Structures are given as C-alpha cells and as structure tokens.
Amino acid sequence: MRGRTSTLPLTIIALLLVQACAARDPQPAAQRPAQQRYQTTATVLQDKSHGPELCLSGVLDSLPPQCGGVPVANWRWDQVDGEESRNGTTWGVYRVVGTYDGTSFTVVETGAPERQPPPSAQERFEDEPKTPCQEPEGGWKVPDPAHRSERYLEPASKAAEAEPDFAGLWLSYLEPMGGNVAEDPGEFVLNAAFTGDLARHEAELRRLWGGRLCVTRLQRSLKELGRIHDEVTGDLAKRLGLQVVTSSIDQVANRVDVKVVVLTDEAKAAIDRRYGAGMVESSAALVPVG
C-alpha cells in the first residue's frame, strides 16, 4: 500500500522544515558568541594526588615543588617542552591561553614564558617603599645613635602596633643595602602610621627609638583594613561568585589587595562602590584575551 501523499504546496513544506530546524538550533553556530578566552603565565604541576593544575596562588619552594590550583582538563605533557620530573611530580612554567568554566581550565594555546632578567640592586632599591615624610633640612640625621639598633627597633615597633589607631609600619632605606643585610642593614627611616594624634605618637616613639623616624597619617587603621580583608575574601567574595587566589594588606598603600581567578567588570565595580575606589585593589589571575 502506498503512503498518503501530501497535498501541501512545496513552499509551505520548505517553510515548515526551516522552522523545525530553527526550533532545534535557535542560533546558528557561526553566529554564536565565542567562549571567553583567558591567558596567564603560571606553573603547571601534576603529582600523585592530582592531575595537571595551574598554580595560580604560587608554588611551595621545595623539591619537588608543591601547589594546588585550577585543574587543566586537556593538558598533555608530551605536547610541551621544558618540564621537570621528580618523585612522581612533573611541573613546568608556561604561558597558556584557554577557556575557564568556573571549575577547570581548557587549554587552546601554550608557549614558553617571557624571560625577564633579574632586577639590579638599584632597581630593587627603587621599588622599595619610600618614606612619606619630607627630608629634614640638612638631611636625615640620627637623633640618638645609642638607641638606633635592632634592640630598640623591636620595642618601638610593638608600641606602635599596640595603639588602637595604628595603620602601618615599614622601613624606607635611603640607599641600596649591602650584600649581607644582617651585617650591613643600611641607613633607613622607621615609618609609623596612625589615623590620629600624631604628636602624641611621635613623642612616645621617640622615648623608645633614637634612629630616623617618620610619623604619618593614613585614612584607615590596620584593624579596619583587617575587617575589610575578611569581608572581601569571605562573604562578599561568595556573593559576587569570586574565587580568591591570594590576598594581603598593603600597609604602605593603606589598602587591601585581592587576586581572584576571574574578575568581571561588574564584580570590580561592586567592590569599589562598597569601599571606595582604590581601597581594595582587585585583580585577576586569568586575564581576558581580546
């Protein structure tokens, strides 16, 4: 028996076929937006406890090294060069480009990292934190040389840190240090930062410390920065869907530094709205490409 023959015009049949295909595939593959790609330079490490992972939060300096990070879904050691292996651990440093689904990284391209020459002593010196105080007329003199050794530096530092409005403490070297810092600590200024009552703080520290001293004001106390740090890396990170890689408090800049796996513009704007621009320096380990 022959099947029933359709009496619909061919143009209508063609239209129905197009609509059926559109229902199954509402957006042709050629028109779909490409998945976001990211790049980073990091150690890829595989050991007996886990497969290949991107060490985005750093590597423990041991032999073999150790780290925990983002799994790499399609890593092949036989397709890269420069890896090392020891005691069941294989690792190497690479520049990688790929996609990230929130759980694992899929590699699209790999390459050797850009090698930078180690900084010179002068370059390291220039990168060290500077004192916010203006150099006194006649230069930085030592008021009481008998009370400027490490023996007196420690109690002065502890006294500053014990103040409720303490904001930061750091040394600013006036010239590059010698090769043996323990024997030649160099000439430096002790910087102590507070949020208020600078005259009282300076007078109290002067009774303990006879070396060069700068007492300065910063906006937020270290206690307040600690609260912000815990909030950003805890509840706020969860609400914004951020995966924290590293975090710290920068006492010189009086801010919180947070690095996450991926940072969207929306998440960064939400952080700035909550704390003010520059109070939290947020960055991403995986940088968008394009």
Query: What whole-number percentage of the chain has pLDDT above 90?
Result: 72
Q: What is the pTM of this model?
A: 0.81
What's the mean per-residue pLDDT of the chain? Answer: 86
pLDDT digits (tens, 9 = 90+) for 83-110: 999 999 999 999 999 999 999 999 999 9
CA 29 to chain centre: 36
- 55-89 pLDDT, tens digit per residue, is 999 899 899 999 989 999 999 999 999 999 999 99
3-state secondary structure of 112: coil
CA separation for the pair 92, 226 (Å, rounded): 35
Q: How far, in Å, CA of 128 to CA of 158, rounded?
A: 22
Q: What's the number of CA atoms in the CB half-sphere (13 Å) around residue 69?
A: 28
Please give the Cα distance from 126 to 259 (Å, whole number): 24
Q: If 0-12 CB within 10 Å is exposed, 13-18 middle and 19+ buried, where does residue 80 land?
A: middle
pLDDT at 182: 43
Check pLDDT > 60 for residue 16: no
pLDDT category at 290 given cuts 50, 70, 90 is confident
- Mean per-residue pLDDT for 255-284? 96
Residue with tokens 């619909």: 8
pLDDT score, position 185: 53
Which class for 29: exposed (0-12), middle (13-18), buried (19 or more C-beta within 10 A)? exposed
Token reading at 53: 């992972």
* pLDDT grade for 123, boundaries at 50, 70 and 90: confident
Task: Please name the fold of domain 222-288.
Answer: GMP Synthetase; Chain A, domain 3 (3.30.300)
pLDDT exceeding 70 applies to what percent of the chain? 85
